Amino acid sequence: MIVYQKAYDLYHTVYRMIKLLAYFKQDGLIEIDRLRIWDYYLLYPNKMKNIRLKREEKDVKQIIKSYILKEDNPYEMVINDRKMFEKIKPYQMTAIKCLASYGIVNKDYLQENRISNINKNIFDDYADDFKNLSVQEENAIKLLTSHFYQISLFGVDGLKSRTGLLESKYDA
């Protein structure tokens, strides 16, 4: 039996990255690791329930439970999040480099492991394509690009530590 896995589809990865960047309204830089984490949770939104949240973030936990979680798909079952995150890294990095080659993100920052939007007009051209997002997908993108952008990437309470997808023990 052949099963399509969108995690290993480069074009789908580019599409997910564009969706995330289109909803990202701030003008700041985005760390590549942060964008990769966002992409993982856009790919597997049910995994957002495993993100360690603080007590004062009860409202975020409620949003995840009410508006993002849906019934598990047995064909998308991931046993080990960290291994899966590493398996899709080549696809994510290739997608980011593809966006840089088209001038959607600034390639000068890639060596610093950061990106920034430089061509916001391209997102306006494809705005109609993003109107067909599911409610779950739209809520996940909004939560990832707003609340999870404000959380530091590093440290004990950083996004890397809370998600457990990347090693954070040796971060400065």
Q: Are 5 and 44 in contact (CB under 8 A)?
A: no
Pull the structure tokens for residue 156: 């004990």
Q: Does pLDDT of 89 surpass 80?
A: yes
CB atoms within 10 A of CB 89: 12
44 or 123, which is more confident?
Answer: 44
CA angle 19, 24, 26 (to 5 degrees): 160
Short-list 129, 145, 37, CA closest to 92: 37
Global pTM value: 0.90
Q: Are 50 and 132 in contact (CB under 8 A)?
A: no
Place of tokens 């039996």: 1
Average pLDDT over residues 11-28: 86
Which ranges of 77-134 does DSSP label H, i.e. alpha helix? 81-87, 89-101, 121-125
Pull the structure tokens for residue 113: 């492991």
* Model confidence pLDDT, tens digit, residues 48-65: 988 898 888 888 888 888
Average pLDDT over residues 148-164: 88
Pull the structure tokens for residue 138: 């739209």
Pull the structure tokens for residue 163: 């998600």
Q: Does pLDDT of 71 surpass 90?
A: no
Q: Does pLDDT of 29 surpass 80?
A: yes
Average pLDDT over residues 27-36: 88
Q: Would you place residue 40 in the very low, low, confident or very high pLDDT band (cuts 50, 70, 90)? A: very high
Question: What is the C-alpha R_g of the chain?
Answer: 16
Q: Which amino acid is at 8?
A: Y
* φ, ψ for residue 122, nearest 5 deg: -65, -30
Q: Are 91 and 11 in contact (CB under 8 A)?
A: no
CA angle 49, 77, 144 (to 5 degrees): 35
